[in-house]
Structure formats: C-alpha cells, structure tokens
Structure 1
Amino acid sequence: MNPKTIFIAESLPGSGKSTKFIEALPTLMHTSKIVYAMPTNALIRELELNIKINAGISPIVITSETVDHVTAHLEKVLAANKQPLIMVTHEALRLVDPRLLEGWELVVDEVPSVSDCKTHPFDSTSYLGSLANYLTIGPDKKASLNPEHIALVETMIRAKDTSALSKPALEVLQAMLTPKCSVEVEAQSTKGKRLVRIVSYRDFLPAFSYANSVHVLANNVQDTLLGVHAKYQGWEFEPSEFTPMFDGYGKRVELHPFLTGRYSKTQSMMQRNGDSAEAWDDEVQLAAWLRGVIAMIGDEESLAFMHEWVKFKFDANVTKLPIDSRGINGYQDRRIAICLQHGNVSPDIALSLHTLSEMLGVPVAEIRKAIEFERFYESTLQAIARTSLRDRDNLEPVTLFVQNMDMAKYLQGMLGRLAIISTELLMTPWEKQQSEKKKAKAIIQAEAVSMFQSEGIDRQTIAAKLNIPYHQVRRWTAKLQRAV
C-alpha cells in the first residue's frame, strides 16, 4: 500500500457512514487510538451523544465549548497519548502540530473546506489611511508586511475591538501574518478603488501525513479541492472499511428546475427589458420563478437555501437556512426544499486562482472546477439531505426546486430511478439586451459577409468601403465561399 493513502467512504448524506464508524468503535479501540474530526461544534455534540448511547463510549471532546485554549489543550492530550477517542473540529485538526498525530488513526467526517479567497475594495482614502503605511507591494502585486511594523500590527490585531482600523483592514493585516496566505493588491482603478485580495489554503495534508491511517467520510472526496490537491501531491484513494451498504433513499423525488441554461446571479437578476438589475427587484426572472414555486408549495412547511442577494419575501412557512448546511439537523419533517446556491467563480476571485495554483501545484482549470463543484453540486446535495429525504421511516415523496436542468440531472443521477424531473416551472433564460455598439457591429458584419458571399467583392475592397480593418473582414469571412 502506498503510505500516502486516503481511505474514502463515499456515499450519499444520511447513508450511514458515521453510523458504521460508530458501530465499529468498541472493536477498534482495543487496538487503536482515534482522532475524530468534524466541521462544526454542533455536529460534534450530536455525534458525541450518539457514541455514548450506541457504543457505550465517552469520548474526550476538545472544542471552544469545552476548553479555553483548544490547540494547546489538544496538543497536550495528544502528547500524553492516553485517551482512546478524541473529538475535534476540522480547524483544530489543521492547527495542531501534525507530528503529534503519529501513532493515531484519523477519521474525518465530511470534506474540510480548504480554500478561502476573499476580496476587499478600498477607496483611495481608506487604503492610504489603513494599509499603505504597513505594506510594500511588489511588481507581481503581492504585498509584504514591512518588518518594522510587525510588532505594531500584532498589537492592533489583538486589540481589534478597540482598533481604529476597519474590519476589512484588520483582516488583511491578519492575513499578512498567516502561513499559506497571500495578500495581493490591484492597481487603483479609474474610479479610485483599490481591490485587495486575500488568497489562502487551509492545508490538512501535513496532519494526514503523520497519522497512521486517514479515513474521510463524505459524499464525494476526489472532486473537491482537498481531493484534487492530494492527488497532485501523490496521494492515492482506496475504499474505506466504513463505506456503508446503501441502495438509495427509497422514496419518490420530484425535481423542478428553474433554468434551461447556466444558473448565475446575473441571469437570475435579468429583467424583461434585457437589463440585469443591480439590486433585487420583484420583476427579475428568479422572482418570477419563485412566485410559481410558492404557488405550488402553498402553506406547506419548506426549506430554502440562498445567498444574501436573494431578497424574495417568503411566507412564514419557508425556513431559510445557511448555504453551508452540513451538520444542520432538526428539519427532517420537511419534504420540500428550494435550492438557490450558485458556484460560479466571480471575476475578482478568478484573479486569485493563479496564486492558489502556485500554492498547491494544481492547474488553474482544476482548481476552478473543484471550487465550482463544492459550491454548486456538493452544496446542493448537502442541502436536500436536510429534508425528510434521509428519513428512512418517512415514505412521503420529496419535492425539490433546483437551480437548472444540469442540477436536476445531476441529482437524478445521484438519487436513482425514483427521481423524476418535471419541466412544469422550467424557464428559458431571459435574453440580455444587445448594446447599440454590438448591434452596429452585427449590422456591419452582416453587410461584409453579404458583399463577400453574394456580390463577390474582395476582402480589401470590403474593408475600404466599410472603413474597418482588413483582418476583421478576413476573420468574418474565413470559412465562407466568395461568389464568382
């Protein structure tokens, strides 16, 4: 076996991955010491109770709810090497000295979120007043913290509640002191704005490297950014012993997609007049679709997952939940969900992908694909699993309103033969109105093509008559036959 191996239990949410691991604990703990890592404190509380009830074991829980200094306490417990089962968050696992995991088995529930690319726009005055004195910007736009200001910056960050600096400025300075983090500053725009980008990667591979074995329990590991990074760093994937036997949820699912084409904020905010609204408006295309959704739902209790820009006024029977829904339980009586997550990488974030590529040794295209998979497909699958879908005793059909036809087909493939796609509410994207400049260009292009293809006029003459560059005419007519 390759020592750089990640054992993966890949199966749908609610299929029993955690349950199978917990059932194996009494036997495992005779010969192994285990660190069990989860994304949130809430999930740790839930699974701690599960372990106590079903396995008769009392794990050591080390979180911000149980101790004051999580990392220091965890390192002390790992070094003592006496506790058979420790439960921690993903973040605590990342921050601990990885060498202390030697001799421990590592079980990671859900794929950790590993990339965090943020952007902060500063106007010229706020940038000069908050950051300019502390940073030096290189030709590659990368910022470095002036050595003489390091101690001062550390003091300001510790005193953040009383600091005169804004929260974004403090966040940028904090990033300057954080390993595997790059701060990049764009040139000032014509509008006097200066974009500051924070590019960071939370690296779990050092922890994986020292552990005796690593098991990740998740719906999908290999298509995530963690999985892609591990693959490019020489790690291999093998099935985990905690992979459950699962033949699907066993209930009928009706999928109602919104758009025939690509789902995005820009398209969702499109108006009938062909303009994309800058702020939410009840006349945008998504609002029109949601009115149909609400009419279909009626007064039935439902869940909705959406970004802040969606300002649609739902009735009280629709409960809004966070986009990252992992570990959110208590809604398994709901059989309806509206999923409006989007995974598109914004132009500002796209500027950061090259730096992330340098950090990870992974091509930009692979990084973009992994990020979009996590934000769009994986996020949506996790969201629908908050409903009664995963309740084996509830056989009522589930209704899911999803972003587009691509998502509907993806979920149908995951959920199996009992999932059907309804096109009752399906909408064709409202078209963006062509600008006057584009219209004029299209008219000239059509005229050039007609002169070449129908009248047999040569390209040089067409260019002169229409007052356009010769190469433009050549490109427009490259694959056309000139009339004789």
Structure 2
Amino acid sequence: MKTINISIAPPGAGKTEALLSKLPALLDAGKRIILALPTLVLSDSIARRACEAGVTYRTIDQRCGEAVVLTLEKALREKADSFIICTQESIRKVQHKLFSGWVLVVDELPKVVDYPDYGLKPMELERVLHFTDELDGQLWIKDDLKEAVREQVSTNRADARGTACSTLGRSAAHIFRLLLSKIDVFIDQPQPDSVRHIRAVEEFTDWWEIFSSAIECHVLAASIQNSEFEVFATVHGFHFKRSEFTPEGNPINSVVTIFPVVQTGQKFSKGMMLAPHGDKRLIDIVLKNILERTMSLPLLFANKWANLQFTRDVEYIPKDCRGLNNYTHATEAIVLFGGNPSPSDSNGIKYLSAKYGKDFEEAFITTRFLEPSLQAVTRTAVRCYDNTKDLHFYVQDHRVVDYLRSTYFPDATVDWSLASTVPIKRDGRKLDEKTEEEVKRLISLGTSTCQIQRETGVSRPKITKMKKMHKAA
C-alpha cells in the first residue's frame, strides 16, 4: 500500500496558508517541494502569497512557452530550486521518475478520468475509418498504418503550435492519440443523420506513477469522499492519512439557509431546465423566481448551455471557480449547473464498473456535480469566519442539499418553498423512502403541516393522513 497524505478542510479554511507557513522550516531542512495547481489564476494567487510570506519560489507553467515540459524536467533534475509552483497539467507531461527526491503537493483533486465522446459526420468519420478497423463496436488501428497514424498525430500537434499544417481535425487527432495509447475506443451505430459517436474512457494513470515516484505526496481538498479520485486511488493501491498541512478546524458559524430549485425526489438536469414553458425556458422561470427573493447582488454559477452569462443584477461566475477568493462580500449564491452522466458517460461508467468491480456512478456525480456545487457556495462570505450576515444558497436539488449538509453545513436550514414555484408537476401523494422517513421524523417532532410541506414539498393531504396514522400508532 502506498500513501497519499490528505489535507481536508472547507474552501477558504487555510489549507494553502498551512502549507506556506510550514515551507520555511521544510526548505531549511533540505526538502524540495513542488506545488501543482489546477488553474493559472490559482497559480498567480499562490505565487503572490509566497512572495508576501518571504518564500523563494520559481513558477513554471504554460506561459513559459513551448519548452514548459523541458524546463520543468530540467528544474526537477538539477534541483537548483527548492520550491517550484506549476500546474497539474504540466506535471503530468514530465518524466515521472524525476519526482524522486521531491515532495509533491497537489492543490485540489486532480482529474483522474475523462469520458471523451465525438459525434463525427461522414466526411471526418471516413478519415478515421481509413486508418482503423471496426470490430464488435470497437476501433483498432490497422497494423500497416500505425506509423502513418503517428505521423498524422505529430503533424496535428505541430499545427497546434503553428509550425506545420494538418488536415486532421481535433476530434480525429484525439481519437488517434487514444488508440495509440492502447485505450479502448468504441464506435456506436449510425444515427438517422449518418453521424456516428466514437467514445472512450480515458484514465489518467500517470497520476499514480507520479505519486509513487515522489518521496512524499500531499493532496489539499475540500473533500475526497466518494470522489473519482478516491475510488481510483484505492483501486491503484493507495491509502490515505492526514496531511501535516491540514489547518486547525474552524467551524462555519454563519447562519445558512438552502433553497432547492426542484422538489424533493426530482433531479435537476439540462433537459428539465431547457424545456419550454410558454415562451420561456424553465431555467429562465427558475432564475426569475429566485431573483424576486434575493436581497443583494447574488453570485450566479451556470453551465454554458444555460446562456445566462449576460444576466443582469447578478455576478456571473464560471462553473470552475476554484481559487477565486474575491467574492467574500457576497451573501447569496445561485447554483444552476448540472452534472448528470450523459448516455455516453453512462456507457463509460458501466465499462469501468465491469473493469474494476466497483460502482463508479456515485463517484461521477460527486466529482462532476456535488463537489463543484460546494465549491460554488463557498466563494461567498462563508469563507469569513467573522461573518455575521445570514447566507442564502439557491441550489439545484435534494442531492446537493444532502451533500452540503453532510460536509460543512450540517446545521443549515432547508427551505423548499422555492421549489413549489417551479412549474413541474409532482405527485405529492407518492413518496420515495427517504422523503417518507423525513416526513415521519418531522411529525414526531411536532412540526406543523405547513412547515413540513415547506421543507419536503409533500402535499398537505398526504401529511395530514400521515399525522393521523402516527397518532393512531
């Protein structure tokens, strides 16, 4: 078993500060540390804070130009710098053995799997099938054309750098790279418009080689439970222990109210939100209803498909908001992005489940939907432990509610009144097991029928009937 040291704390709780505070002593003791960050924005922030703390560092990332990988490899090999700041993308490209002798710190969970899916029209599909054989729904490079495929990919990369001209499309180039890496690539049957989907499950296995090569590795994160990172680390023989960079626990003292958008038992989805209701999309109706309740300038997080980036009276923020620390003035957050697996993703999840004998769907939802929602709401004043203002989070559905309450907001109040304004028909007479248990619990506490309906979305007649049964029992 190999060890990954984990620093778990809420966003803004001081994980990076704990690292920076310990750096001088660690560097004086002769340790060499490389810090890998998910975004350039976060890289700039850490570099600035290291400078303020008087820590000498060197930044190596994509802004160094074409030679970023060679520069990083040279720095790791020569060990002239004791503290290097780079991106997660950069370290995946260097020779893994060069991490020997280095302490690796990864800020935020790295991406360990992807589910590429390309719908190819006949012309581009013909280009791919010219170099491949199709057998039982899978693609294989023709033996006598492997060198030609490598040349095609090489030319495409040179084209991206502006040093050559390639006629190979981006999708086809990635498909060829996957095949050359001996990753299973699947091809679906033609659709009515002759488009065929080519898909794969791309595991970033180099992470496990990198973690094994470093003399010590740490991951700083808000949570790893049920994430893709946790599942893949486990199947690759790693276990976890508490990192020395874990900050002292500071409970969240803010008074938080969570307003789900859709009623309990329903799942927020792209299809649901883009469905027309009269001359508007459902997501427009939802946002309008939310904005009628807000009392400040709220933060708004949404997918690109929602096309809400030009919404007035909000501060629009991209879904990937890690490292953004300049919104602590906000007391309200609206989270309207999805993260359910597509049909292609579901096929990939089944593939992984068959390969490893584990269920990967929960990990997918946690990584693509739940944890990003946590990251979003914690851009607000909740990061300030002296905050005295009430906070309102408008979130997608009961899954996000449960995740927030199970991580850092166990005392949050849940208000279902907003969900009742969303024009989605729900049979309040039929309950799933979880909702039924919640209604029974509230009844046992003597909660009013009105309050139970508000918190659960269950119809009043159903609650009244359950109260009578409870009393009779």
TM-score (norm: length of structure 1): 0.79
Superposed displacement of residue 110, structure 1 = 0.6
Superposed displacement of residue 355, structure 1 = 4.4
Residue in 2 aligned with 1:106?
104
Residue in 2 aligned with 1:242?
245
Number of positions where the alignment pairs a residue of Structure 1 with one of Structure 2: 416
Residue in 1 aligned with 2:88?
90
Alpha-carbon displacement from aligned partner over 1:217-240 (angstroms, at most 9, x marks no partner): 101124221221111122111111
Q: Note if contact 2:77-2:98 (Cα within 8 Å) is conserved in structure 1.
A: yes
Among 396, 412, 416, the alignment partner of 1:419 is 412
Residue in 1 aligned with 2:447?
none
Alignment RMSD, CA only? 2.5
Residue in 2 aligned with 1:127?
125
Residue in 2 aligned with 1:155?
155
Q: Give unpaired runs (5+ residues) of structure 1.
A: 273-280, 433-484
Distance in 2 of aligned mates of 1:324 and 1:48: 20
Question: CA 1:319 to 1:362, structure 2 compared with 1: closer, same or farther past 3 Å?
Answer: farther
Superposed displacement of residue 67, structure 1 = 5.2
The structure that has the greater radius of gyration is 1
Q: Note if contact 2:309-2:316 (Cα within 8 Å) is conserved in structure 1.
A: no
Q: Note if contact 2:275-2:281 (Cα within 8 Å) is conserved in structure 1.
A: yes
Residue in 1 aligned with 2:316?
320
Secondary structure of 1:430's aligned partner? coil
Among 384, 388, 399, the alignment partner of 2:381 is 388
Among 261, 268, 273, the alignment partner of 1:268 is 273
Residue in 1 aligned with 2:209?
206
Superposed displacement of residue 401, structure 1 = 0.5
Among 214, 231, 236, the alignment partner of 1:228 is 231
Secondary structure of 1:83's aligned partner? coil
Superposed displacement of residue 409, structure 1 = 3.2
Secondary structure of 1:9's aligned partner? strand
Q: Note if contact 1:180-1:200 (Cα within 8 Å) is conserved in structure 2.
A: no
Residue in 2 aligned with 1:457?
none
Secondary structure of 1:24's aligned partner? helix
Superposed displacement of residue 257, structure 1 = 0.5
Residue 6 in 1 paired to residue 22 in 2?
no
Counterpart AA for 2:35: Y
Residue in 1 aligned with 2:288?
291
Residue in 2 aligned with 1:458?
none
Superposed displacement of residue 90, structure 1 = 0.9
Secondary structure of 2:304's aligned partner? coil
Q: Note if contact 2:275-2:282 (Cα within 8 Å) is conserved in structure 1.
A: yes
Question: CA 1:269 to 1:16, structure 2 compared with 1: closer, same or farther past 3 Å?
Answer: same
Secondary structure of 2:292's aligned partner? helix
Q: Note if contact 1:67-1:73 (Cα within 8 Å) is conserved in structure 2.
A: no
Q: Give unpaired runs (5+ residues) of structure 2.
A: 427-473
Residue 374 in 1 paired to residue 374 in 2?
no
Residue 362 in 1 paired to residue 360 in 2?
no
Distance in 2 of aligned mates of 1:71 and 1:24: 28
Q: Note if contact 2:324-2:379 (Cα within 8 Å) is conserved in structure 1.
A: yes
Deviates more, 1:203-212 or 1:192-201: 192-201
Residue in 2 aligned with 1:251?
254
Question: CA 1:205 to 1:372, structure 2 compared with 1: closer, same or farther past 3 Å?
Answer: same
Deviates more, 1:208-217 or 1:346-355: 346-355
Counterpart AA for 2:241: E
Q: Note if contact 1:10-1:217 (Cα within 8 Å) is conserved in structure 2.
A: yes
Distance in 1 of aligned mates of 2:191 and 2:183: 24
Q: Note if contact 2:325-2:379 (Cα within 8 Å) is conserved in structure 1.
A: yes
Q: Note if contact 2:36-2:105 (Cα within 8 Å) is conserved in structure 1.
A: yes
Among 344, 347, 350, the alignment partner of 2:343 is 347
Question: CA 1:315 to 1:233, structure 2 compared with 1: closer, same or farther past 3 Å?
Answer: closer
Counterpart AA for 2:197: L
TM-score (norm: length of structure 2): 0.81
Superposed displacement of residue 38, structure 1 = 0.9
Q: Note if contact 2:155-2:166 (Cα within 8 Å) is conserved in structure 1.
A: no
Question: CA 1:222 to 1:103, structure 2 compared with 1: closer, same or farther past 3 Å?
Answer: farther
Question: CA 1:319 to 1:152, structure 2 compared with 1: closer, same or farther past 3 Å?
Answer: same
Question: CA 1:313 to 1:74, structure 2 compared with 1: closer, same or farther past 3 Å?
Answer: closer
Deviates more, 1:158-167 or 1:118-127: 158-167
Residue in 2 aligned with 1:17?
15
Secondary structure of 2:306's aligned partner? coil
Superposed displacement of residue 193, structure 1 = 1.9
Distance in 1 of aligned mates of 2:216 and 2:41: 25
Superposed displacement of residue 52, structure 1 = 1.7
Alpha-carbon displacement from aligned partner over 1:275-332 (angstroms, at most 9, x marks no partner): xxxxxx754433322211011126x322111112213586422122221211223222
Distance in 1 of aligned mates of 2:418 and 2:370: 21
Alpha-carbon displacement from aligned partner over 1:95-138 (angstroms, at most 9, x marks no partner): 2111111111111111001222121112334422x322222223
Secondary structure of 1:132's aligned partner? helix
Alpha-carbon displacement from aligned partner over 1:386-423 (angstroms, at most 9, x marks no partner): 22221234432221100012322321333335521122
